[in-house]
Every structure is written in structure tokens, then in C-alpha cells.
């Protein structure tokens, strides 16, 4: 079974621009979560999408947004980029079925964003 895929793998932008990152989950997985990883803050949760709805959101400004499509693919968008947004953005998918409990999350390769 193919793993989580993310595109693009590398991205360079300048301050003030916006960026869209894409994630395709493992086939059959319906939940997609996004994380930001930086040397200073480590891995931090951005948000989770399930059935095209945002289910949970981390402590990030409104410049960070996302969406999920009917095929479970997800995109995240960062508007008005700041230097501090330079990070590895990771997408993780799980087979969340809508009930309670925790599903194991599997990470994609990430998108390395550099803001100049």
C-alpha cells in the first residue's frame, strides 16, 4: 500500500507571499493531520481534517488554514508568509472511522518551506 505523499517536497517563497501544500493520505485513510516542525519549537500540531471538516486545531494564527476534499486529499495554506514560517510541514494520515479512540498516524515525507 502506498504511503502518504506530499507535494511539493521543497518550496522557497518570500515574505508576504502565500503558499499551498498538498497531501494525499494512505489509501482508505480518511483523517489527515498537519504538523509543523522547526528546530526551536519541535513538532507542533496544526489541524486535523476528517470527512472534509476540520475537527481539531492547534495554536496557530489564522494565516494557517486547510481543507479536505471528498477523496480525503488535503491542502494547507499559509498566507502572508513570515520568516518564522520556515519549517518542515508534515502531513499524517490515520484510519479514523469517526468514533472515539485514537488511530495511529503515519507521516508523509514532508514539505520543506523556506521563507526569504
Binding site for another protein (CB under 8 A): 31, 33, 35, 42-45, 48, 50, 55-56, 58, 88, 90, 92, 94, 96, 100-110
Residue 70 or 102 having the CB closest to another protein: 102
Q: Fill in the DSSP letter of residue 26.
A: P
* Least distance between another protein and beta carbon 110 (Å): 5
- Cβ-based nearer residue to another protein, 2 or 16: 2
Q: Which is nearer to another protein, 36 or 81 (CB)?
A: 36
- Measured from the Cβ of residue 25, the count of other Cβ atoms closer than 10 Å reads 27
| Rounded least distance, CB 16 to another protein, Å | 28
Residue 109 backbone class (left: φ over 0; alpha: ψ -120 to 50; beta: rest): alpha
> How many Cβ atoms are within 10 Å of 12's Cβ, its own excluded?
12
Amino acid at each position: 500500500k502506498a504511503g502518504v505523499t506530499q507535494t511539493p517536497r521543497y518550496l522557497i517563497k518570500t515574505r508576504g507571499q502565500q503558499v499551498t501544500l498538498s497531501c494525499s493520505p494512505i489509501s482508505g485513510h480518511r483523517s489527515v493531520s498537519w504538523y509543523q516542525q522547526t528546530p526551536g519549537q519541535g513538532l507542533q500540531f496544526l489541524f486535523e481534517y476528517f470527512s472534509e471538516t476540520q475537527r481539531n486545531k492547534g495554536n496557530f494564527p489564522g494565516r494557517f488554514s486547510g481543507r479536505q476534499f471528498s477523496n480525503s486529499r488535503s491542502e494547507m495554506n499559509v498566507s502572508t508568509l513570515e520568516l518564522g514560517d520556515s519549517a518542515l510541514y508534515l502531513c499524517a494520515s490515520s484510519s479514523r472511522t469517526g468514533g472515539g479512540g485514537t488511530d495511529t498516524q503515519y507521516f508523509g515525507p514532508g514539505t520543506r518551506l523556506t521563507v526569504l
